[in-house]
């Protein structure tokens, strides 16, 4: 199959997050949220056009469109704002005019079956209705772009119907003909074939392509359309949209720029910011491995990758994180190795000796076996835990323990400890798992050693910043022994385990002092 040369180096980007993206199941933006997203898309991302709503949906939607149009007018960008309207006489056009919008994206039927079975009209009747809508919009000073809904099915099943419509409508004042793969059924080869046929018949027409992602081909199909002469692409932030969504803005942008050397108006350094904003307002989480905007896409896990980056950026490509307002991270865990750890320590301004590095590396590996990832935020806690609180000789060792809790019953602890070479066992209940553990310890000291140990004066738990449920827990316990204060720390992925470590450190200090 012959593909026409890529002759349109500038590609117009139309964002439909606030219209098509809002058709995502469970997503409904409030008017002020729509305004905040629109502001960022216009000012920070610099999209060429912004489809913000469907006409006649609700009064709340009308308020949102009016708000966006007022704002766009004040910054001289009102011509970027577009609203989807219908061939319904004058209703949609009047609604759009009342909102202060200057552009309608008129939805016409792009397949014969839609025309006949949904509208119950002949092609001639539908074309006449479209022409009347275009004429009325132009009289009100509203520009018209025309969607051919279900165009991809139309090209498969009824191409002569599409050509019949185009022969008439290309003579009307329509700025753009927008060709949607409404059902997300095409593959790139079909898009190339269909676009080639459209452009050969109508070479002077501005065509947009609107992709859906049902076969995970929205980005590929969009690029195929560009290869065959599409001058505009429709996208949504984070790929939001009905069913499987639309083509994601960030992915389309970087492939156009890096793979096709095409030009757009998009400012890439804010792509991550708009992704986070839409994620927050929509409630639809971005997958951590989503290209460009996912949490993990600029995180190296393997130590050999960190080593290569440190030596000569061996694992870099054109998608450098700084390009998108982000930074490269090196995950810490059982696979990270010394190179990852060294790079993270360097970012924190920490320098360790070879011996200290070995201890920290061992501790991170142990923690990595117990939690998915150790973050840079965790690192100062680990360094502090390993280097400042290592007991040269443990006189009190925890051999084994079990703590349990059940609804309606007091927590139970069963422990075995070694104190100065002798092992002891005890059980106890308590008001919590840690309380039960400490009471079992006190029972051992009182029953077998006829001794007491310091009294718990304060107990504080903290985690590194970020609000993650899998974060490391640092427990700081303050003990009072007569007039003396002992403060010990424990670090672990489990809060009870961290508190137990802090307690054992206290007991070893206590034994040394004794």
Q: Which of 12, 82, 149, 497 is catalytic?
A: 149
Which regions of 262-421 does DSSP assign to beta strands (E)?
A: 299-300, 329-330, 396-406, 409-419
d(Cα 83, Cα 91) in Å, to the nearest integer? 13
CA distances, 157 to each of 346, 377, 456 (Å) = 62, 57, 79
Beta strands in 130-279 (DSSP E): 143-149, 176-180, 207-210, 232-235
Strands 176-180 and 207-210: parallel
Q: At what angle do helices 337-348 and 303-312 cross, to 10 degrees?
A: 60
| Tokens 């209703």 found at | 91
322 assigned to active site: no
From the candidates 12, 19, 326, 329, give the one annotated as an active-site residue.
Answer: 19
Separation of alpha carbons 296 and 300, rounded Å: 8
Distance between CA atoms of residues 97 and 425, nearest Å: 82
Q: Which residue has the tokens 């709503």?
A: 53
Q: Are 150 and 119 in contact (CB under 8 A)?
A: no
Buried b (16+ CB within 10 A) or exposed e, 255-288: bbbeeeebebebebebbbbbbebbbebbebebee
> Has 149 been annotated as catalytic?
yes
For the residues of 64-85, what is the DSSP string, one character each?
HHHHHHHHHHHTT-GGGEEEEE
Q: Which residues are catalytic?
A: 19, 149
């Amino acid at each position: 199959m012959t593909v026409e040369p890529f002759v349109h180096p500038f590609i117009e980007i139309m964002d439909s997050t606030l219209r098509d993206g809002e058709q995502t199941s469970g997503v409904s933006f409030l008017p002020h949220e729509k305004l905040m997203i629109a502001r960022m898309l216009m000012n920070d991302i610099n999209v060429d056009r912004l489809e913000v709503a469907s006409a006649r949906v609700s009064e709340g939607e009308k308020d949102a469109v009016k708000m966006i149009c007022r704002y766009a007018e004040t910054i001289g960008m009102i011509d970027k704002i577009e609203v989807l309207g219908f061939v319904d006489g004058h209703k949609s056009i009047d609604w759009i005019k009342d909102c202060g919008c200057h552009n309608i994206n008129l939805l016409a039927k792009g397949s014969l079956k839609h025309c006949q079975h949904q509208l119950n009209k002949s092609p001639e009747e539908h074309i006449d209705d479209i022409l009347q809508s275009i004429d009325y919009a132009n009289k009100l000073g509203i520009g018209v772009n025309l969607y051919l809904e279900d165009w991809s099915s139309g090209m498969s099943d009824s191409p002569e119907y599409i050509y019949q419509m185009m022969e008439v409508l290309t003579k009307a004042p329509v700025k753009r003909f927008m060709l949607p793969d409404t059902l997300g059924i095409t593959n790139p080869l079909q898009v190339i074939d269909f676009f080639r046929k459209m452009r050969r018949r109508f070479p002077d027409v501005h065509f947009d392509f609107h992709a859906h992602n049902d076969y995970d081909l929205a980005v590929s199909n969009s690029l195929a359309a560009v290869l065959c002469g599409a001058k505009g692409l429709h996208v949504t932030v984070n790929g939001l949209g009905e069913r499987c969504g639309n083509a994601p803005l960030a992915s389309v942008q970087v492939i156009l720029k890096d793979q096709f050397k095409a030009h757009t108006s998009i400012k890439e350094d804010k792509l991550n910011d708009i992704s986070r904003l839409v994620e927050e307002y929509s409630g639809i989480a971005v997958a951590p491995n989503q290209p460009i905007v996912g949490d993990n896409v600029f995180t190296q896990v393997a130590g050999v990758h960190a080593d290569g980056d440190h030596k000569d950026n061996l694992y870099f490509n054109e998608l450098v994180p700084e390009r998108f307002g982000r930074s490269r991270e090196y995950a810490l865990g059982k696979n990270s190795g010394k190179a990852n750890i060294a790079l993270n320590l360097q970012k924190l301004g920490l320098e360790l000796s070879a011996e200290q590095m070995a201890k920290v590396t061992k501790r991170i590996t142990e923690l990595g076996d117990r939690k998915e990832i150790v973050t840079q935020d965790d690192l100062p806690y680990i360094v502090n835990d390993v280097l400042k609180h290592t007991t040269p000789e443990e006189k009190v060792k925890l051999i084994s323990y079990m703590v349990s809790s059940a609804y309606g019953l007091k927590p139970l602890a069963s422990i075995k400890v070694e104190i100065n070479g002798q092992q002891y066992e005890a059980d106890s209940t308590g008001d919590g798992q840690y309380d039960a553990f400490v009471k079992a310890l006190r029972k051992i000291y009182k029953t077998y050693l006829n001794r007491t140990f310091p009294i718990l004066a304060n107990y504080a738990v903290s985690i590194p910043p970020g609000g993650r449920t899998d974060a490391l827990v640092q427990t700081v316990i303050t003990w009072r022994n007569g007039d003396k204060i002992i403060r010990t720390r424990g670090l672990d992925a489990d809060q009870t385990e961290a508190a137990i470590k802090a307690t054992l450190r206290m007991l070893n200090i206590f034994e040394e002092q004794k």
